[in-house]
Structure 1
Amino acid sequence: MSAKPMNILCVTAHPDDAEILCAGTLARYASQGHTVTIAVFTSGNMGDAKIPPDELAVMREQETREAADLLGARLIWAGIDDEHVFPTLEQRRIMIDILREADPDVIFTHSPNDYHPDHRYVGQLVFDSYFQKGLPHIPGQQRPACRFGQAQVYYLDNLGGIGFLPTEYVDISAVFELKMRMLACHRSQVVAMQELANTDLLGMIEIQARFRGLAAGCRYAEGFTRLDAYQRGLTSRILP
């Protein structure tokens, strides 16, 4: 692990995705003095059958800020309509500016084979925007180019671990309680998951973390795959 302070960026589609899939890893980075940024691409405004989208968007942002504050993380809120992520030029420009604002050394985002289209397209937008973050003459951008250097990309686990085989694990046993407190901040989502999908969100994530821990040889773990691509690979492990 690098002793030099790094910028850690987690880019997810929905307000609770970071807490579900990598809050423990982000907590470990934060405890080591690295700067952690959570970027949420949609407002989560379509995620309830009863609460109107405008009202729900305000609730989801407040809940996300509460969770980020527990970690001491910076929050970037893009505010795209939930269920409306597509790899368009407009949304790529938004993603380029997110990457430029965070100037990351490490990026976490969704796996290409994730179950949700918003997740898959966010991951694609991160992939497609990777080089543009460091190019100063891309038209239509609101933020100046950041460093052009390498940023290692890690793909997040899938819910239930379905179709995802981690190649690297992070032991989150010591910070698991914090992860669950962050997830519990997302009260509207916890209720919606129970009502719409008959799913105990907190219980499900405890099971997944325990299962990944079983594979990793610890109590609780989060699993990732590293994106290996030209000019994106590193020769040493940088996960905590």
Structure 2
Amino acid sequence: MNILSVAAHPDDTEILCAGTLIRYAREGHRVTIAAFTNGSMGDLVIKPEEMGAIRKKEAQAAADLIGAKLIWPAVADEQVFPDQQHRAIMVDILREADPDIIFTHSPNDYHPDHRYVSQLVFDAYSQKGLPFIPHQSLPPCRLDNAQIYYMDNVCGIRFMPSEYVDISDTFELKKQMLCCHKSQLKDMKDEANTDVLELIETQARFRGLAAGCKYAEGFNRLEAYQRGLTKRVLP
């Protein structure tokens, strides 16, 4: 299968669903990580152009750890909107990845970039396989019904998973992927007094309690017309 994670910022995928992606990669599936923005606004000193280049290198290093493909449209950080321009970019991301399973942010996440990326995935979904959608750079992909899964919110706030994935055997590699994002780990510590590695371990342990394992990631599958599912597709 083709597995796609579409997240707003570099490191969002690693925080919220990397353990699951590693399981897919180990099973031989094709994994693609799309960071919708370049993460360029996260530092108080380093200018956006330089910061964006740093974040891209870090994202590529994380993807390389599991043999995943990186899609980097370089949308300006903190400037995501559910408009025609950004929908066209999202349609092309979906066409390039041709996914069977899509992971993206929950619609009620805390950050506007997260929420709008989630909406753009929903809005672009039905257009990925249509040949005459204007303003597209890539040809249409399959019209098959890809399954969309919403990732857990950071800290699990107002998110009740309907499905869990046991990441006990992949959690250490998940941490290694996150550690590739050195600039973000530093900025979160300096600016928000947040240890992101501690955060993901606390959340994975908490979800693991509900799932009956040491570490877990939680998801909600999008329930919508023409996206029915009669079997579990999560690993």
Structure 1 position 189 matched with structure 2 position 184: yes
Trace 1:114-153 onto structure 2 (pairs within 5 A).
Answer: 114-153=109-148
Unaligned runs of 5+ in 1: 1-5
Opposite residue 25 of structure 1, the aligned amino acid is T
Superposed displacement of residue 232, structure 1: 1.1
* 1:171 pairs with one of 166, 171, 179: 166
* 2:79 pairs with one of 78, 84, 108: 84
Moved over 3 A (4+): none
Q: Quote the residue 2:12 is aligned against.
A: 17
Q: Quote the residue 1:219 is aligned against.
A: 214
Q: Counterparts of 1:83 and 1:233 in 2: how far apart (Å)? A: 33
Query: Secondary structure of 2:72's partner?
Result: strand
* 1:65 pairs with one of 60, 69, 76: 60
Q: Counterparts of 2:2 and 2:68 in 1: how far apart (Å)? A: 11
Query: Secondary structure of 2:78's partner?
Result: coil
Structure 1 position 200 matched with structure 2 position 195: yes
Contact 1:44–1:81, Cα closer than 8 Å, also in 2: yes
- What is the root-mean-square deviation of aligned Cα atoms in Å? 0.4
Q: Counterparts of 2:199 and 2:144 in 1: how far apart (Å)? A: 38
TM-score after normalising by structure 1: 0.97
Query: Secondary structure of 1:231's partner?
Result: coil
* 1:36 pairs with one of 31, 34, 45: 31
Opposite residue 48 of structure 2, the aligned amino acid is P
Superposed displacement of residue 50, structure 1: 1.1
TM-score after normalising by structure 2: 0.99
Q: Counterparts of 1:233 and 1:227 in 2: how far apart (Å)? A: 9
Query: Secondary structure of 1:154's partner?
Result: strand
* 1:49 pairs with one of 39, 44, 51: 44
Superposed displacement of residue 16, structure 1: 0.3
Superposed displacement of residue 76, structure 1: 0.2
Structure 1 position 104 matched with structure 2 position 99: yes
Q: Quote the residue 1:160 is aligned against.
A: 155
Q: Counterparts of 1:65 and 1:116 in 2: how far apart (Å)? A: 23
Q: Quote the residue 1:239 is aligned against.
A: 234
Q: Counterparts of 1:78 and 1:218 in 2: how far apart (Å)? A: 36
Superposed displacement of residue 37, structure 1: 0.2
Q: Counterparts of 1:74 and 1:164 in 2: how far apart (Å)? A: 28
Contact 1:227–1:233, Cα closer than 8 Å, also in 2: no
Unaligned runs of 5+ in 2: none
Opposite residue 38 of structure 1, the aligned amino acid is I
Q: Counterparts of 2:135 and 2:211 in 1: how far apart (Å)? A: 44
The share of aligned pairs that are identical, in percent, is 68
Q: Counterparts of 2:171 and 2:28 in 1: how far apart (Å)? A: 18
Query: Secondary structure of 2:34's partner?
Result: strand
Q: Quote the residue 1:3 is aligned against.
A: none
Superposed displacement of residue 139, structure 1: 1.1
Query: Secondary structure of 2:17's partner?
Result: helix
Query: Secondary structure of 2:62's partner?
Result: helix
